[in-house]
Structure 1
Amino acid sequence: MKRLLRRKFEAWLILLAAKILIDRYVQRAAVVSRRDNNDMWGMAEQLDPIAKRISSNYP
Structure 2
Amino acid sequence: MILRKGFLRRKFEAALIRLAIAILMGRNVARSLVVSRRDNNDMWYMAEQLEGIATRISKNYP
Q: Which TM bucket (shorter chain)?
A: over 0.9
1:7 corresponding residue in structure 2 = 10
Structure with more of its chain in helix, by fraction: 1
- TM-score calculated relative to the size of structure 1: 0.94
The percent of aligned pairs where both chains have the same amino acid is: 69
Listed as ranges, the gaps of 5+ residues in structure 2 are: none
Report matched runs for 1:1-59 at 5 Å: 1=3, 3-59=6-62
Rounded Cα–Cα distance in structure 1 between residues aligned with 2:34 and 2:12: 32
Rounded Cα–Cα distance in structure 1 between residues aligned with 2:10 and 2:32: 36
Equivalenced residues, count: 59
Query: Computing the radius of gyration over CA atoms, which structure comes out larger, 1 or 2?
Result: 2
One-letter code of the match for 1:41?
W
- TM-score calculated relative to the size of structure 2: 0.90
